[in-house]
Structure 1
Amino acid sequence: MVNNLATQLREGTSKSHSMAENVSFVKSFLGGVIDKESYRKLISNLYFVYSAMEEEMEKNKIMNLLNRSITELNRNLELDLEHYYGSNWKSLIRISEATKAYVERIKMISNERPELLIAHAYTRYLGDLSGGQILKKLPRAMNLSDGKGLSFYEFEEVTDEQEFKQNYKRALDSLPLDSHLADNIVAEANISFTMNMKMFQELETSFSRIIIKLITNWFSSIFQPKVSQA
């Protein structure tokens, strides 16, 4: 059975995709403007999301439905978290409110409509694969001269990005589903985009506070009265 789920997902989430890219934090991120504190909060949030998503997909055999193609996207979140937080990173990271809601959504649909996990896999995996090229700007932005701390966006098992995407889309189009289920998967993908946006908006607030603090410190260092020496 062949459907056009890949096309339906692309067209049906185009508005949500555009809205997500226009969140201020994401625009800064895609432009290579980000600080280490915001980035490490981002990957700690993603760790909770991916842990839940991959656990539930494995439990419900969703990876098998996609011919295990998504397992080629080798994730290295734990390496990055150890780089930014240290060896005891698991005791230091905290799940944010928006991320908690995201994880709860993943677990809920896993119990009630596990086939909808396909939508979350589509939103996150293909988005991160596409973002990998953009994030080559980040080592300079965050002064990562040794290149460490960005393992999450190194896709060692994907030798040809375009070929992988085409294979992934063919896997989506070969899924045995009817038009009603396809519509539900597209609807869930839009929910996934919304939950990602809320997670980014939390980071946007944190990022704004950091920028304000940096600007304040900069002004203080310039205009602070010098103490005259006798």
Structure 2
Amino acid sequence: MSNDLLTKPQDGVYEEVGLATKLREGTKKAHTMAENVGFVKCFLKGVVEKESYRKLLGNFYFIYSALEEEFERHRRHPVLKALYLPELWRKESLEQDMAYYFGPNWRNTIAPSPVGKEYVECIRHLSNTDPDLLVAHSYTRYLGDLSGGQILKNIAIRAMGLEGSQGTAFYEFAEIPDAKAFKTAYREALDQLPVSSEKADAIVAEANAAFKLNMRLFNELEGNLIKAIGVMLFNSLTRRRGAGSTELTPAAE
């Protein structure tokens, strides 16, 4: 069954709305909220504290590893197979960054934070009980990485004085030379997924839950950031609430 819905605009002509549009429209509020988390606002203003940043990447390593392992497990699943796209996968890139930030013994050094562990458990649980909902986690993370990745990479390089591509492999998509075209094809694939309207709504709800998990990951890091830059500077950087560009956090279009 198609995931398309029928909506009736002012001219009275019905038109179809697919899953990609439902996800974009249904997560706008969460998107803006994510961009207004203190850690993200500081990052976008060029204030990046290395210890917090490497802890975030450490969590991402466990989260992406889980997500990609479950997509591998379900690579022939009738819904997930269309989004089985190894060119998006971040595990190997994050392994490079882990070695840079934590040294050659990084596998015995890093561990997920409490929220990072919860995030991983959520992905594993969905894979075992309702794999269709993994679509939400793919959408939330990978499209955001493609949309704002290069901007975030450049901010990180300037803020932490990095050289070349050291410490920023996470943002490199060597197998995707045209991010805009890839995102268009990805959204088209979303619209062709064989899910019902009810399941599409559940995927949107799960995408919003994924945004909340990401916000909680960011919130975990604010203590380290405040300690590093000072309470007064942190408050001055995060005082004003912006509308959100929807271009620099998960699932940006």
**Shorter-normalised TM-score: what interval?**
0.7 to 0.9
Mapped partners of 2:59, 2:67: distance in 1: 12
Give the equivalent residue in structure 1 for 2:81. Answer: 65
Aligned with 1:14 (options 24, 28, 34): 28
Q: 1:2 Cα shift?
A: 6.4
Q: Distance in 2 between matches of 1:207 and 1:106?
A: 28
Aligned to 2:148: 131
Larger radius of gyration: 1
- Secondary structure of 2:173's match? coil
Superposed counterparts of 1:152-167, under 5 Å: 152-167=170-185
Structure 2 portions without partners, runs of 5+? 5-17, 234-253
1:30 shift after superposition: 2.4
CA contact (8 A) 1:74 1:157 kept: no
1:92 corresponds to = 109
Q: What SS does the aligned partner of 1:149 have? A: coil
Alignment TM-score, normalising by the size of structure 2: 0.80
* Cα deviation code 1:62-104 (max 9, x no counterpart): 6952253x32225200001000111110111121011111111
TM-score (norm 1): 0.87
Aligned length: 213
8 Å contact from structure 1 (residues 49, 99) kept in 2? yes
Identity %: 53
Query: Which deviates further from its counterpart, 70-79 or 171-180?
Result: 70-79
Matched position secondary structure for 1:146: coil
Encode CA deviations 1:118-151: one digit per residue, 9 max, x unaligned.
0000001111111212121221110113331101
CA contact (8 A) 1:25 1:201 kept: yes
Q: 2 CA distance for matches of 1:32 and 1:128? A: 18
User: Which of 170, 177, 199 in structure 1 is aligned with 2:217?
Assistant: 199
Confirm or deny: 8 A CA contact 2:39 2:225 kept in the other structure. Answer: yes
Q: 1:45 aligns with which of 40, 59, 62?
A: 59
